[in-house]
Amino acid sequence: MTATIVVNSVEAMRREVAGWRSQGFKVGLVPTMGALHPGHISLVEEARKYAQRVIVTIFVNPAQFGPSEDFGKYPRTLEADVEKLSEVSADLCFAPTVEEIYPKGFSTRVEMDGPARAELEDSFRPTHFSGVATIVAKLLNQAQADVAVFGEKDYQQLLVIKRLARDLDMTTKICGAPTLRETDGLAMSSRNVYLSAEERRIAPRLHAGLEETARRIKAGEALSPALESGRAALSEAGFAIDYFEVRHADTLARVKSAQDGPLRLLVAAKLGATRLIDNLAV
């Protein structure tokens, strides 16, 4: 275990990175919004496969929250997060203030098409991906890492970030890492703490719904009825569905049949006041 160094300024992070580079180390970046759970830690471990030094950024990015979303109540647990990072010997935690990231006069926003306008998350959170693209572009520029790791849990986000890095000729390689799940199948998420005990009991049905739908498609059922059964099962369990869809796994384009694959199932649904998302390869 090595204590993780915490810095708040871009300058201090760059100084550390320059020192590592002069020693010939490769650098990995794991952008997060904190409230770290084992899923985040698995991203740090993934980054370690490519890099000798790993930076974890912790920044609850106001630009990616809509006006009625949970920016104010999003869990902020920096001290506990740094302890968890030290346990896995993450080398550096970059935890900037809002002013460090968006100083007075900040006037730039990255707008994207392609996977950012797939009519999935973007239909329900219209400004979300421009907020994500803006902060991720900044973090990639600030850290100049060799590799950056993002979870597949936010599947549309992962494709958006891959597109962003390619379109803007960024040199950092973007890697996805598999979703970590609780033993009952619920995808780990910082937002799971919002669930009441009863909602927590129901929440794993989201993943179960994806698995059952994937099973039906693989067994040869047509996409529409398979999706309809999945939606019905979730509604019956008490979810209010935003979307439950199957798309092309690489582009998020709509598909007509399993032959149009590789396929990815994607879902977002509310349980009470908590919105959960998940996805599964078919």
Edge-to-edge strands, sheet with 240-248: 240-248, 263-271, 274-281
Q: Whole-number minimum distance, CB 80 to ligand PAF, in Å?
A: 17
Cis before 126 (ω within 30): no
Q: Whole-number minimum distance, CB 60 to ligand PAF, in Å?
A: 8
The SS3 assignment for 203 reads coil
Whether 128 sits among the annotated catalytic residues: the reply is no
Report CA dihedral (59, 60, 65, 71) to the nearest 10 degrees.
-170
Q: Report the chain's C-alpha Rg in angstroms.
A: 19
- Applying CB under 6 A, among 32, 134, 142, 279 the residue interacting with ligand PAF is 32
Restricting to residues 151-180, name those near ligand PAF by CB under 6 A: 154, 157
33 near ligand PAF (CB under 6 A): yes
> What DSSP designation does 181 have?
B
- Applying CB under 6 A, among 17, 85, 135, 223 the residue interacting with ligand PAF is 135
| Neighbour tally for 149: CB within 10 Å | 28
Edge-to-edge strands, sheet with 92-94: 5-7, 92-94, 53-58, 27-32, 147-151, 173-177
In the bound state with ligand PAF, the residue whose beta carbon lies nearer, of 175 and 237, is: 175
132 near ligand PAF (CB under 6 A): yes
Q: Taking each helix axis as running N to C, give the angle between helix 128-143 and helix 155-167, from 0 to 180 degrees, rounded to the nearest 10.
A: 50
- Residue 144, classified by CB atoms within 10 Å of its CB into exposed (0-12), middle (13-18) or buried (19+), is middle
Distance, in Å, from the CA atom of 162 to the CA atom of 252, rounded to the nearest integer, reads: 13
134 near ligand PAF (CB under 6 A): no
Do residues 43 and 179 lie in contact, with contact meaning Cβ atoms separated by under 8 Å? no
- Helix or strand (DSSP H, E) at 86: helix 78-87
55 near ligand PAF (CB under 6 A): no
Is 36 known as a binding-site position? yes
Q: Whole-number minimum distance, CB 61 to ligand PAF, in Å?
A: 4
Is 180 known as a binding-site position? yes
Place of tokens 């919002």: 194
Which backbone phi and psi does 267 adopt, to 5 degrees?
A: -140, 145
209 near ligand PAF (CB under 6 A): no
- Applying CB under 6 A, among 27, 28, 31, 189 the residue interacting with ligand PAF is 31
4 near ligand PAF (CB under 6 A): no
- Applying CB under 6 A, among 4, 42, 61, 279 the residue interacting with ligand PAF is 61
142 near ligand PAF (CB under 6 A): no
Is 111 known as a binding-site position? no
Q: Whole-number minimum distance, CB 94 to ligand PAF, in Å?
A: 11
Q: Whole-number minimum distance, CB 8 to ligand PAF, in Å?
A: 17
Is 64 known as a binding-site position? yes
Q: Which stretch binds ligand PAF (CB under 6 A): 17-25, 101-109, 131-139, 223-231?
A: 131-139
In the bound state with ligand PAF, the residue whose beta carbon lies nearer, of 57 and 213, is: 57
Annotated binding site for ATP: 33-40, 151-154, 180, 188-191
Positions marked active-site: 40
- Residues lying near ligand PAF in the complex (CB under 6 A) are found at 31-33, 61, 64, 132, 135-136, 154, 157
